[in-house]
A and B are shown apart, each in its own frame.
Chain A
């Protein structure tokens, strides 16, 4: 199993070309805010009552219309996400139409509804990729974090998808509820032969209630991230990572695929967009803005406006010049969700970066017996 960052070379090429030409190569479609789980740290989950109070979900026809307009502008990689997208009864109407128009459609799901007819229909017309959020390594963790016993159901679904030949990846959000399960989750991933993308950093859920009480402290998050690095990396690579960290030089690209500069230097608002369940288009799903309205404005003018607004975003100059910059995962979305401002220094991330360097060096020295 390769647990390093993976992306097809063609995707990298297309995003690079798209950046030069101003094209929306990747699009995230948040089909619903509803979910059959009730995870306390979720950045989007709303009850049916909240959805009713705050607006309404776009119809299948509206999603398909937006996707078609985006396709005409260059969209190729589409991600259907939520909430839990399979709670929509018309999910396959949207999914089928988007595939038929020539998009490579991926799905984010918690995996708990992938059985019976839903699974069968998915296997009949498989996605480019399905990303399953794995919340723990046992039923107890699922009960505590998601509110129900879904662990076995999810693992069964992953096995079925893998057996059929579907490209499955796992997303792992490390929280106070599941950090004790890391070793078990890694064992499972090895057994299932699936790539895991883990994150110990949780954005403040400002779109829901802003309650950060369900995430790890910065220092705990760093410890968990380093533990995951120890699990996923061969020993010699972990030692090299520690040595690079001690020099504060680049250890791995940050997860958005670009280093921080004064503006938004990842793909958000440059070659990718996010459309919320109620039809607002933003650079990324974590950002509260800038936002445009493709249903009212038409996709092409809205995209142009979003690109222009994204270019105005300035990140903190203190971050750009910080000696920890190469080992820190700060980005525009982190800044604005942590501080309310794009140019605000996210103190939580500063602490996490420093603690990650310390914890990596300590783990390296403990493991290898040498100064890292």
Chain B
């Protein structure tokens, strides 16, 4: 999967944020707050061939049932697609 925007992941005050860089400021001028799982997924998106890769990674890392993981990951990726980030 391809991240299309210039966004830098940062830890600030115990939370994980994405900070816009370069011209990404024009479309996304602010901070994105990521949950723990969101941050985990963000690191793996560039190396993931598809959604299935991310589902497997989450199931290995977290105690969560597969149905919930698929739904949550799907919703997260849909959100990123809707903002043209991936």
Contact = CB atoms under 8 A, between A and B. Distances in A.
A127 B25 contact: yes
Interface size on B, as a range, is 10 to 19
B4 interface: no
Contacts of B19: 76, 102-104
B31 interface: yes
B30 A14 contact: no
A213 interface: no
Chain A contact patch, size range: 20 to 34
A74 B25 contact: no
Interface string A90-121: 00000000011011100000000000000000
A188 interface: no
Contact of A14 (B8, B13, B22, B23): B13
B14 A21 contact: yes
Contacts of A100: 21
Interface string A54-77: 000000000000000000001010
Interface string B17-33: 10101110110011101
A96 B65 CA distance: 44
A25 B13 contact: yes
B12 interface: yes
Given A104-B19, A128-B25, 20 more contacts: A10-B31, A10-B33, A14-B13, A17-B14, A21-B13, A21-B14, A23-B13, A76-B10, A76-B19, A76-B31, A99-B21, A99-B22, A102-B10, A102-B19, A102-B21, A104-B31, A127-B25, A164-B26, A166-B26, A167-B29
8 contacts: A14-B12, A14-B13, A17-B15, A21-B13, A76-B12, A76-B17, A103-B19, A126-B25
